[in-house]
Amino acid sequence: MAASPDLARAAVPQDARDAILAWYDATGRLLAFRSTADPYAVLVSELMAQQTQAARAAEAWTAWMARWPTVASLAAAPLADVLRAWRGLGYNRRAVNLHRAADAIVERHGGVVPSSIEALEALPGVGPYTARAVAAIAFRVPVGAVDTNVRRVLGRIAAGGPEAVPGRAMQVLADAAVPCDRPDAWTHALMDLGARLCRPARPRCADCPAIAWCRYAAGERPAVTAGSGAGRRPEPSFPSTNRWLRGRILDRARGADAGAWVVFGEGIGTHEPRAVREAVAALASEGLLEVRDAAGDDVEARLPS
Ligand code: SF4
């Protein structure tokens, strides 16, 4: 699909946008963080909701906002407290980045979350998706926030599948599709559509407000190219992954008394001691742990102070 705003706009016409917004107005999920347009609160929610189930993120967001209601309060908090509060959300690097982003907002912007895409993207851990989601939801800037869900929804509607809208063309499509009067609701609506109806496997097209305009539902499919999925190796089981191991290491560090060192000398689950040490070192290099050598090959680690 060509990267032309006019073509992109035609691919998701006004009637389709109206139908999606009407569906969202009638059935949208009542997630706690959708009740606010406060830019800091939106930034926290967007970082939490990436790679974490929305309902769980909403619960954590409520507790987070009660504890650190402003950018300045988060920036002043010890990183160890921030990491403990992130427990259960996974991908702990996001907590470090959120803390650093709060610092940067205080230092560069006087504690006020910036509204421009450029300034938002310059914050630690804020990529193109998060910057546009914050701009659209908090500042009502008509830009499209493209994550995996949105890519799938818009790609299927406009071209039968996201594979047919490569690279820059997807951002052009997403920007062109945004209703200028409701960029905030539109951002939430596409998220809901992707999570509830337009799922990767067996989308619920019969219930979808976009079915009349959707090329995927009409039976169009982009040609499958080599490497697009066929013949992929099966996913490894979760406990055998490095992500699982990192989570267990951080859980042990969180479970220790404040400031106490935890010894890592043995294997964890199916992971050998060496793999554990390497994971501890990687977490330290990312700022998630402090480490020091211990007896033998052991290392000791704790949450950063
Ligand atoms: S009609 Fe089906 S494929 Fe098209 S957007 Fe809706 S759920 Fe997705």
Instruction: Specify whether 132 is located in the same domain as 247.
Output: no
Is residue 229 a part of any domain in this protein? no
Torsion over CA: 202, 205, 206, 207 (sign): positive
Lowest mean pLDDT, pick from 91-105, 116-130, 151-165, 212-226: 212-226
Atom of ligand 1 nearest to the CA of 204: 7
Is residue 234 a part of any domain in this protein? no
Q: Report the separation in Å between the CA atom of 218 and the middle of ligand 1, taken as the mean of its atom positions.
A: 9
Atom of ligand 1 nearest to the CA of 197: 7
pLDDT computed for residue 296 by the predictor: 81
Banded pLDDT at 205 (limits 50, 70, 90): very high
CA nearest to 187, candidates 284, 5, 49: 49
Banded pLDDT at 305 (limits 50, 70, 90): confident
Length of the chain equals: 305
Is residue 233 a part of any domain in this protein? no
Instruction: Specify whether 251 is located in the same domain as 290.
Output: yes
Is residue 269 a part of any domain in this protein? yes
Instruction: Specify whether 163 is located in the same domain as 278.
Output: no
pLDDT computed for residue 228 by the predictor: 52
CA nearest to 108, candidates 121, 90, 94, 96: 121
Torsion over CA: 65, 37, 144, 11 (sign): positive
Strand ranges for the chain from DSSP E: 262-264, 290-293, 299-302
Q: What is the pLDDT of residues 133-178, one digit of tens each?
A: 999 999 999 999 999 999 999 999 999 999 999 888 999 999 999 9
Instruction: Specify whether 57 is located in the same domain as 168.
Output: yes
Interatomic CA distance for residues 47 and 154, integer angstroms: 22
Instruction: Specify whether 168 is located in the same domain as 247.
Output: no
Instruction: Specify whether 156 is located in the same domain as 275.
Output: no
Instruction: Specify whether 127 is located in the same domain as 24.
Output: yes
Interatomic CA distance for residues 130 and 83, integer angstroms: 20
Give phi and psi for 300, each to the nearest 5: -115, 145
Is residue 20 a part of any domain in this protein? yes
Per the residue annotation, which of 46, 121, 235, 278 is the catalytic one? 46
Atom of ligand 1 nearest to the CA of 205: 2
Tokens representing residue 210 in the block = 């976009």
**Where among 149, 179, 213 does a domain terminate?**
213
Concatenated DSSP letters of 187-223: HHHHHHIIIIIS-SSS--GGG-TTGGG-TTTTT--PP
pLDDT at 257 over 90: no
Query: Ligand 1 — pocket residues by CB below 6 A?
Result: 153, 156-157, 197-198, 203-205, 208, 210-211, 214, 216-217
Q: What is the pLDDT of residues 63-104, one digit of tens each?
A: 999 999 999 999 999 999 999 999 999 889 999 999 999 999
pLDDT computed for residue 87 by the predictor: 92
pLDDT at 232 over 60: no
Is residue 232 a part of any domain in this protein? no
Q: Report the separation in Å between the CA atom of 124 and the middle of ligand 1, taken as the mean of its atom positions.
A: 34
Which CATH number fits the domain that encloses residue 156?
1.10.340.30
Is residue 134 a part of any domain in this protein? yes
Instruction: Specify whether 266 is located in the same domain as 123.
Output: no
Tokens representing residue 200 in the block = 């990767």
Confirm whether 46 is a catalytic residue. yes
CA atoms within 13 A on the CB side of 235: 6
Q: Report the separation in Å between the CA atom of 165 and the middle of ligand 1, taken as the mean of its atom positions.
A: 16
Which CATH number fits the domain that encloses residue 244?
1.10.10
Structural domain tally of the chain? Answer: 2
Banded pLDDT at 221 (limits 50, 70, 90): confident
**Where among 197, 213, 229 does a domain terminate?**
213
Angle at 260 between CA 255 and CA 266, to 5 degrees: 70
- Residue ranges making up the domain that contains 194: 5-213
Is residue 222 a part of any domain in this protein? no
Instruction: Specify whether 248 is located in the same domain as 200.
Output: no
pLDDT computed for residue 57 by the predictor: 95
CA nearest to 191, candidates 40, 55, 7, 1: 55
Instruction: Specify whether 184 is located in the same domain as 245.
Output: no
Instruction: Specify whether 105 is located in the same domain as 12.
Output: yes
Helices 242-255 and 273-285: crossing angle in degrees, nearest 10, is 70
Which of 196, 214, 215, 221 best tests ligand 1's pocket when mutated (most atoms within 8 Å of CB)? 214
Q: Which residue reads 């409520």 in tokens?
A: 62
Interatomic CA distance for residues 272 and 152, integer angstroms: 38
Instruction: Specify whether 74 is located in the same domain as 139.
Output: yes
In angstroms, what CA-CA distances link 275 with 262, 266, 271? Answer: 16, 10, 6
